[in-house]
């Protein structure tokens, strides 16, 4: 059987990965991993859903012109 600290370490690692491996969040991930399994897993699932929604919105963003005739070349005037 895996000891409690090893389980916490694995939960913290999963949280870290689910959040996109951010730097500087070790203490937060470790603290959240101390909670019961279902809370940490639920938070990870929530983060994954939010990230997926953001990815979908970004993929569907239509800020780019639809055809080559609508594309404007970059300005040759210096911004200064």
Residue boundaries of the structural domains of the chain: 4-51
> Are 29 and 15 in contact, with CB atoms under 8 Å apart?
yes
Percent of the chain exceeding pLDDT 90 equals 2
Please indicate, yes or no, whether the overall pTM of this predicted structure exceeds 0.95. Answer: no
pLDDT tens, 15-65? 889 888 988 988 988 888 887 665 666 777 888 888 899 888 888 766 665
Q: How far apart are CA 31 and CA 11, in angstroms?
A: 10
Q: Would you state the pLDDT for residue 65?
A: 55
Helices (H), 19-68: 26-33, 37-59
């Amino acid at each position: 059987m895996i000891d409690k600290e090893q389980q916490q370490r694995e939960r913290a690692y999963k949280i870290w990965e689910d959040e996109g491996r951010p730097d500087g969040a070790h203490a937060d991930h470790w603290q959240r991993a101390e909670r019961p399994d279902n809370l940490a897993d639920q938070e990870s699932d929530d983060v994954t859903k939010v990230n997926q929604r953001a990815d979908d919105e970004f993929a569907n963003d239509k800020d780019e012109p639809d055809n080559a005739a609508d594309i404007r070349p970059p300005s040759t005037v210096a911004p200064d």
